[in-house]
Amino acid sequence: MLHADQIRAILLLNPMTSHDAIRQQVRTAYAAVANTGSSCCATAPAPGGSCCAPSDQSVGYSADETAAVPEGANLGLGCGNPQAIAALQPGETVLDLGSGAGFDCFLAARAVGSQGRVIGVDMTPDMVSKARANASKGGYANVEFRLGEIEHLPVGDATVDVIISNCVINLSPDKAQVFHDAFRALKPGGRLAISDIVLTAELPSEMLAEVALYTGCVAGAAQIADLVAMLAGAGFSDIRIAPKEASRDYIQHWAPGRGVENYIASANIEAVKPRE
């Protein structure tokens, strides 16, 4: 596993290589969650805690929602509920970026019904295997999981009605490319409905360089203005980013005593691909 000084050296020497180094660090951390339930937080969480969520693993979800998925699907890796803003309709095709063990995919499957379809994409093989096992266990015939990077989605052009994602895009070293490929995958009139972490104040340099804070959904967060520019540059319209101040109450537990809640917050991120 790479240490912080190694990551810093890679970043200075070769930006392209740095992207791969960051992806591998994230992949390693989340494989550990898939296989052992261990945390990728910056510091040890309370029992049951995880990378990007409080220990109760239910940010923004009702008790009915958390109880409706197969056991083991909810790993508590989110920072909000993209379902709440997605307004999913029966028959739609939904794509989940960074689908983990399948939690949001299974909830989306209920909303789109048997005529709809849900595709989960994750770059961690262990997560894809876990999600597929959960889908089989729950009998989700309209859900599939594909191995791939969210910067280069394994789906065709203009094939998706809605893209959701939960606390994942902040982990990408090339967020602009994520939005460009999301735009490609969406049908005209398709929409983004994302819960993610945004930067509300500049992080201290020591936090930016800390690998554990990157995999813990802190150091990779982007400023709201930068996200708006990336989304617009990809071609999206009707861009709305709404930070949730209340999220700081649970974010403080991701790295206890570090004050990360003073720099980041969870936000709802929405945008639309214009109709041709």
- Residue extents of the structural domains in the chain: 4-272
- Asked whether the predicted pLDDT for residue 86 surpasses 90, the reply is yes
In the chain, the percentage of residues whose pLDDT exceeds 70 is 73
**Average pLDDT of the residues of the chain:** 81
Tokens of residue 139, six digits: 């009998």
User: CA-CA distance, 102 to 113, in Å (whole number)?
Assistant: 16
Residue 228 CB partners (closer than 8 Å, separation 6+): 239, 241
Q: Which CATH superfamily is domain 4-272 in?
A: Vaccinia Virus protein VP39 (3.40.50.150)
pLDDT of residue 257: 82
What pLDDT, on a 0 to 100 scale, did the predictor assign at position 30? Answer: 64
The pLDDT assigned to 245 comes to 87
pTM score:
0.83
Taking the chain, what is the end-to-end CA distance rounded to the nearest angstrom?
46
- Find all residues with CB under 8 Å of 50, minimum gap 6, and list them: 33, 39, 40, 41, 57, 75, 76, 77
Average the pLDDT over 224-232 and give the result: 96
Per-residue pLDDT at 130 exceeds 60: yes
Task: Inform me whether the pLDDT recorded for 119 exceeds 70.
Answer: yes
What does the pLDDT read at residue 12? Answer: 38
Given a contact cutoff of 8 angstroms between Cβ atoms, the answer to whether 181 and 155 are in contact is no
pLDDT at residue 76, rounded to an integer: 65
Rounded mean pLDDT, 72-78? 69
> Please, are residues 98 and 69 in contact by the beta-carbon 8 Å criterion?
no
Under the banding of pLDDT at 50, 70 and 90, the label for residue 192 is very high
Can you tell me the mean pLDDT for 171-194? 95
DSSP character at residue 42? S
Q: Which has more pLDDT, 177 or 36?
A: 177
Alpha carbon distance 7, 42 (integer Å): 16
Mean pLDDT of 173-193: 96
What's the pLDDT score for residue 32? 65
Say what the pLDDT of residue 79 is. 80
Strand bridging mode 117-122 / 264-272 = unpaired
Lowest mean pLDDT among 96-110, 140-154, 208-222: 208-222
- pLDDT (0 to 100) of residue 230: 97
